[in-house]
Structure 1
Amino acid sequence: MSDNNETAGPVNEPREDGPVRKVGTPSPAEDNTLLAQEEYPAPAGAGEELDEREAKRAERIVASFFLLAFAASVAFIVYFIGWSGRDGGMHGIHRAKESNLWLGGMMALAFLAMAIGVTIWVRRLMTSKPIVQERHALEADTGTRRAFTEAFLEGAEDSGITKRPLLRRTLLLAAAPLGLAPLVLLRDLGPLPEKKLRHTYWGEAVKAAKAKGRRGVRLVVDGTNKPLKVSDFASPGGMITVLPEGIEENAHHPMNEVAKAVTILINVPADQFKPAKGRENWHVNGIVAYSKICTHVGCPAALYEQTTHHILCPCHQSTFDATDAAKVVFGPAARPLPQLPLGVEDGYLIATGDFPEPIGPSFWERG
């Protein structure tokens, strides 16, 4: 025991940084703990009693900020629906910077004015009486429920929301447009496709060609608009992007129609090609055409492996078998790439009809 005491040193020996507490004495920190306090200081605020003259002045200030928030949110909606639609507006690139500035500024002003108004309300119009919550059993009896009701009504009275109709009405007025703003923003998602994606310009071009006594519309190379002969695409393993002839001159909305009609042409070795039932005549000596739009989320399926004859989409690695009706062999795509029926006329490759199923992602079909 003596050895241990000599090692530990005297219990009451003072240290340079202050005295050492004797073993068994109460800690001096107990008097400073939050649990030892019997009275809780009231939070900073307007005090337990309000100066009605100052309260009326603060009420007008808060109402002004709420009205400013209402005006800013209404301006946001008006600009979004009205002025942003001019000259391309939200759906163009020429006024995107201006639209972002005005829309973001109006929405920021609305939320800022609301926040300032609520802050002033709490700081200047709500009393700061201390509230002590006693903890009892979870089951509430009649007296507890009555006490809660009285406390709730007292709190509502202290907040001023019941006796100050100007604040209540302007707050509801400011909050109403902000609740409608997310619904208005749905407009920026664009119109629903409806049934527009179930048909492409290939069908219109084929009808126009047949009206002139031809079997179909010629395929042209994307970028050069040069009609494509069978002899120009005779080497197996090749892939090229094609469009219907005359699409840029005759389509009502050329860019939109090009985006829907873009097609990949692949030369698959004839001995490895497995045409789908009923589509035995849709290829020309192994030359087959599929929609370039991936059926997963619409990315361009623009990669082709000559050794495996697989079409790949670089976005999410959906893989389609070009030899077997572009069926899905890997990835998240849910259905094959739509196939375009092909034929030959005067040595040129032609399309004899439109895609038999909707192009693009499966959810586009639901319009």
Structure 2
Amino acid sequence: MSDDKPNLPAVSADDEHRHGAVELSEPIADPGIEPHEHRITDIDPQAADRAERQVATMFTLAGLLALGSCVAYFAIPKDSTLVFGPLSGNANNMTIGLCLGLALFLIGAGAIQWAKRLMVDTEIVELRHPASATPEQRADIIEGFQTGVAESGFTRRKLIRRSLLGAMALLGLPAIVLLRDLGPAPGRALYNTIWAKGIRVVNDVTLRPIKPSDLVVGQLVNAAPANLAPIQEESAVEYLNEKAKAAVIVVRIEPSKIRPPAGRENWGVDGILCYSKICTHVGCPISLYEQTTHHVLCPCHQSTFDLADGAKVVFGPAARPLPQLPLAVDAEGYLVAQSGFTEPVGPSFFERG
């Protein structure tokens, strides 16, 4: 067997370097930080003063615009309209939005101008350190923060400081003023509906009064009080508010299967019962009825109520049964309320007993 090795072409040092085979003996030199270029505001006090006035002007205008949005809220009629060719919009809303938008823009623009023209912009190098700081490092951080405050000029440039603080204070006024649009405090409005003694029960779609003979066992009807119609003619908003609270469901169940709570034995008419349509959990409307079990289901969070047992909660997050409206029959044979609801309707709230 021959010990001869195959002849390989010789590789020059230039080839090895060209193909990355030669390792560099020295690392790439640190390029360092570029020489700092002074801004005109660094060397010209008058230019710095002009920049300071510019920033303060922006902050001052922002404060005035915030104040202007409050004035617009009260001064411009709520139903006035602005027209721009084919476009139109509510003048009150557009003015308030424009003032607030420009105020926020000017505060941001002023902060950028402040940082670019007046704050110290010298680049520094800081070595990477472990995540947990030592006491000495924490002291360095605090010192660096204090140095940053000093270099920002916030404590030294009183004009900027005062105009910024004034603008931020005035910017909070529109938020307070706009709280007025939330409407009046509800007071006892959540405790009462327009149901009262003798008010007829009507179909909520046709508004026709309901007779016991109109319902068959197993049927559920969405209903409302008959005195909603006059309210609708006077005020659409008041109508919707009252309808939302007074909405009810009327169901007919075999009388032998009804288990009325104590004191409610005469609240139904021949197996016809009436309950609030508003879930006692968060106020969703209810009408998903299962005839066999007499259960009605809330579609939002699956709270389930047994209508044959005083609308008791049998499943889900609701904490209270559906309020029941006591029924009777008037002289003409129509279903009427014996009285209003004896408890607040709708979702639970912290003041409810």
What TM-score bracket applies, with the shorter chain setting the length? 0.7 to 0.9
Name the residue aligned to 2:66: 73
Please give the per-residue CA displacement for 1:262-321, whole angstroms capped at 9, x wherever unaligned: 111111122221111211111112100011112222221132222332222223333222
The reply on whether 1:114 has 2:107 as its aligned counterpart is yes
Name the residue aligned to 1:40: 33
The reply on whether 1:327 has 2:312 as its aligned counterpart is yes
Alpha-carbon distance change, 26 to 255 in structure 1, aligned in 2, over 3 angstroms: same
Q: Considering fraction of residues, name the structure with more helix.
A: 1
Instruction: Check whether the contact 1:42–1:128 (CA below 8 A) recurs between aligned residues.
Output: no
Instruction: Check whether the contact 1:194–1:366 (CA below 8 A) recurs between aligned residues.
Output: no
- Alpha-carbon distance between aligned partners in 2 of 1:48 and 1:129, rounded to the nearest angstrom: 13
Instruction: Check whether the contact 2:303–2:318 (CA below 8 A) recurs between aligned residues.
Output: yes
The reply on whether 1:217 has 2:209 as its aligned counterpart is no
Please give the per-residue CA displacement for 1:62-89, whole angstroms capped at 9, x wherever unaligned: 1111112112222233334x25773599
In the TM superposition, residue 54 of structure 1 has moved relative to its aligned partner by: 0.9
Q: Report 1:93-108 matches (<5 A).
A: 97-108=90-101
Alpha-carbon distance change, 340 to 140 in structure 1, aligned in 2, over 3 angstroms: same
Name the residue aligned to 1:212: none
- Alpha-carbon distance between aligned partners in 1 of 2:41 and 2:28, rounded to the nearest angstrom: 27
In the TM superposition, residue 23 of structure 1 has moved relative to its aligned partner by: 4.7
- Alpha-carbon distance between aligned partners in 2 of 1:69 and 1:147, rounded to the nearest angstrom: 33
- Alpha-carbon distance between aligned partners in 2 of 1:96 and 1:288, rounded to the nearest angstrom: 48
Extract unaligned runs of 5+ from structure 2: 82-87
Instruction: Check whether the contact 1:295–1:337 (CA below 8 A) recurs between aligned residues.
Output: yes
Please give the per-residue CA displacement for 1:33-74, whole angstroms capped at 9, x wherever unaligned: xxx35x433677737933111111111211111112112222
Q: Secondary structure at the match of 2:340?
A: coil
- Alpha-carbon distance between aligned partners in 1 of 2:111 and 2:174, rounded to the nearest angstrom: 20
Name the residue aligned to 2:85: none
- Alpha-carbon distance between aligned partners in 1 of 2:77 and 2:312, rounded to the nearest angstrom: 42
Instruction: Check whether the contact 2:247–2:276 (CA below 8 A) recurs between aligned residues.
Output: yes
The reply on whether 1:139 has 2:155 as its aligned counterpart is no
Instruction: Check whether the contact 1:50–1:125 (CA below 8 A) recurs between aligned residues.
Output: no
| Letter matched to residue 161 of structure 2 | R
RMSD: 3.6
Q: Secondary structure at the match of 1:65?
A: helix
Name the residue aligned to 1:359: 345
Q: Secondary structure at the match of 2:15?
A: coil
Name the residue aligned to 1:241: 222
| Letter matched to residue 50 of structure 2 | R
Q: 1:271 aligns with which of 246, 253, 256?
A: 256
Q: Secondary structure at the match of 1:31?
A: coil
Alpha-carbon distance change, 267 to 50 in structure 1, aligned in 2, over 3 angstroms: farther
Extract unaligned runs of 5+ from structure 1: 90-94, 207-215
In the TM superposition, residue 187 of structure 1 has moved relative to its aligned partner by: 3.7
Q: Secondary structure at the match of 1:58?
A: helix
Instruction: Check whether the contact 2:283–2:346 (CA below 8 A) recurs between aligned residues.
Output: yes
In the TM superposition, residue 196 of structure 1 has moved relative to its aligned partner by: 0.9
Aligned residues: 334
| Letter matched to residue 104 of structure 1 | G
TM-score by length of 1: 0.77
In the TM superposition, residue 11 of structure 1 has moved relative to its aligned partner by: 9.3
Q: 2:28 aligns with which of 23, 28, 31?
A: 31
Name the residue aligned to 2:78: 86
Please give the per-residue CA displacement for 1:200-249, whole angstroms capped at 9, x wherever unaligned: 1113xx2xxxxxxxxx332222233322222222x111112222233322
- Alpha-carbon distance between aligned partners in 2 of 1:179 and 1:241, rounded to the nearest angstrom: 46
- Alpha-carbon distance between aligned partners in 1 of 2:36 and 2:185, rounded to the nearest angstrom: 54
In the TM superposition, residue 119 of structure 1 has moved relative to its aligned partner by: 0.9
Identity of aligned residues (%): 43
- Alpha-carbon distance between aligned partners in 1 of 2:301 and 2:80, rounded to the nearest angstrom: 31
In the TM superposition, residue 336 of structure 1 has moved relative to its aligned partner by: 1.5
